[in-house]
Amino acid sequence: MKKIGIIGAMELEVEALKDKMEIHRKVEKASLEFLEGMLSGTEVVIVRSGIGKVNAALCTQILCDIFEVTHIINTGVAGSLKNEINIGDIVVSTDALHHDVDVRVFGYPLGEVPQIGCLAFQADTELAQLAVACCKEVNTDIEVYCGRIVSGDQFISDKKIKDNIINHFHGFCVEMEGASIAHTAYLNHVPFVIIRAISDKADDSAEMDYPTFEKAAAAHSAALVEHMLQKIK
């Protein structure tokens, strides 16, 4: 039987899912509240991790250790790194990496964490394919893309920094948790997928766009996750 850990960094990224689930148990750990129960006929643990890579990593480890989840889905918002990916559209991860790791001085490529053995963490193809198929059914007014998601402990709102990230990593969108969820899931041998709806363009317009579009974007992503749960067997 599958047990899906669902992580959103902010309350607005998980509130709709929490409202709909049947809660069996609430567990507090590391100042986080984990809700265990059923949603759309699937066993789930839903949690708001808090923002940034450390919060997301420790949250993921608790899902693996204490709740023994079999799969992890990260839902939330992101800044677009491609002209054709618009606000409201969805990116499903093929892989994820840390854009803010730099140990080039010892020969590692930019973004690679030393001694891990890979630059990017591969998402589960079955979960990713399911996410794309479900997105086409549930969010008919937007486009869905499959590609690399890059993460760092920075909100990107400067065109020069954005262009630098694009040139180095060829990501589809940028956010602040996905790679550390992917990294932790990888170390625990737990399959994962990251699903992000675009809230801004990660350039000089991001400061204005993000507060305007984050709620609708977060809702798009959560609606997709709910639909996926109905199809997960």
Kindly name the residue from 124, 175, 200, 209 that is annotated as catalytic: 200
Q: Is 56 exposed, middle or buried (0-12, 13-18, 19+ CB in 10 A)?
A: buried
| 222 binding ligand ADE? (CB under 6 A) | no
| 195 binding ligand ADE? (CB under 6 A) | no
Least distance CB 167 / ligand ADE (angstroms): 17
Q: Among 81, 176, 190, 222, which residue interacts with ligand ADE (rule: CB under 6 A)?
A: 176
Cβ–Cβ < 8 Å for 95, 183: no
Task: Let me know if 13 is a catalytic residue.
Answer: yes
| 97 binding ligand ADE? (CB under 6 A) | no
3 state DSSP class of 91: strand
Nearer to ligand ADE, 217 or 228 (CB): 217
| 200 binding ligand ADE? (CB under 6 A) | yes
| 112 binding ligand ADE? (CB under 6 A) | no
Within 91-174, residue ranges assigned H as helices are 125-138, 159-169
3 state DSSP class of 101: coil
Task: Let me know if 203 is a catalytic residue.
Answer: no
| 78 binding ligand ADE? (CB under 6 A) | yes
Distances (CA, A) of 221 to 14, 17, 114: 10, 10, 32
